[in-house]
Amino acid sequence: MKAADYAAVSPREVRQMIREGKWDKPTPGMCSGHVQGNLVILPKDLAYDFLVFAQRNPKPCPILDVTEPGDPEPKIVAPGADLSTDLPRYRVWVDGTVIDEPTDVKKYWRDDLVGFLLGCSFSFEGALLDAGIPVRHIEQNRNVPMYVTNIQCTPAGALSGPVVVSMRPIPAHLVPKAVLCTGRFPAVHGAPIHIGDPAQIGIADIMKPDLFWACGCTPQAAIMAVKPPFCITHLPGHMFVADPRDADYAVF
């Protein structure tokens, strides 16, 4: 089945399905109208640096929820959920290198770990579709294209690195509408950070100019740059499906 086949399923049901090992693929199109989140899990001694990093870089790192140390439950956006089991696939990092991409991280969980959920651009794709704007990766049942740019984040403590963007090819006559639609969702990346020639932001391997949104995979680029001793993130495209609706984060 495709992710879009679960568009009408509740977030709680999808998380249970993921927890039971019945879904380990990307989540674009699942639980239509509900927020999806990027994940970063860090030891407590690095969590403050990351919190400041996110505060200084709100476009690529908009925070939705932060857990208590050692507690995997995101109490604000999904009471009863478990960040160690409820994403389809994870990345486990040691000294900046991925050592595992498991379907749960229970064996890696520690009492000092703090989980961060960050807004995801998947959350505004429903608004694009409602406005008649095509979203190609959903149509093709694929993950959204992502690129590392030459735009640098504002550093915080040990963390620094480039902004990562997601790309959606938008017909030229629909670009203004796409900007307006996504600009209503500043808590989930908002309007594009670049429109036009991708080479201007350091992207050379793309066929034509398109719209580029700040991406919640930016922390993974910072992790690769800084190489912290231990970290867990989501596998790109394999998001946490939260209870709030996209409209809860819209600015009208």
Residue 137 domain-assigned (yes or no): yes
Q: For the domain that residue 101 is a member of, what is the CATH number?
A: 3.40.1640.10
Share of the chain above pLDDT 70, in %: 93
- Indicate if the pLDDT at residue 122 is higher than 80: no
Q: Do 99 and 229 meet the contact criterion of CB atoms below 8 Å apart? A: no
pLDDT digits (tens, 9 = 90+) for 68-84: 999 999 999 999 999 99
pLDDT digits (tens, 9 = 90+) for 44-66: 999 999 999 999 998 888 899 99
140 band by pLDDT with thresholds 50, 70 and 90: low
pLDDT digits (tens, 9 = 90+) for 233-247: 999 889 999 999 988
Quickly list DSSP for 147-188.
EEEEEEPPPBTTB--EEEEEEE---GGGHHHHHHHHHT-GGG
pLDDT digits (tens, 9 = 90+) for 153-170: 999 988 888 888 877 778
Residue 252 domain-assigned (yes or no): no
Residue 20 domain-assigned (yes or no): yes
Q: For residues 186-213, give the mean pLDDT.
A: 73
- Distance, in Å, from the CA atom of 155 to the CA atom of 161, rounded to the nearest integer, reads 7
- Distance, in Å, from the CA atom of 181 to the CA atom of 100, rounded to the nearest integer, reads 37
252 band by pLDDT with thresholds 50, 70 and 90: low
Q: What pLDDT does 137 receive?
A: 64
Q: Do 109 and 82 meet the contact criterion of CB atoms below 8 Å apart? A: no
Q: How many structural domains are present in the chain?
A: 1
Q: Is 155 exposed, middle or buried (0-12, 13-18, 19+ CB in 10 A)?
A: middle
Which tokens in the block code for residue 160? Answer: 């620094």
CA atoms within 13 A on the CB side of 228: 26
Q: Is 176 exposed, middle or buried (0-12, 13-18, 19+ CB in 10 A)?
A: exposed
Residue 155 domain-assigned (yes or no): yes
What is the pTM assigned to this prediction?
0.83
Residue 27 domain-assigned (yes or no): yes
Residue 89 domain-assigned (yes or no): yes
Residue 166 domain-assigned (yes or no): yes
Q: Which residues, in sequence order, are CB contacts of 75 under 8 Å at separation 6+?
A: 65, 67
Residue 154 domain-assigned (yes or no): yes
Alpha helix segments (H runs only) across 108-230: 125-130, 136-139, 175-183, 218-226
Q: What pLDDT does 66 receive?
A: 97
- Domain range for 90: 3-247
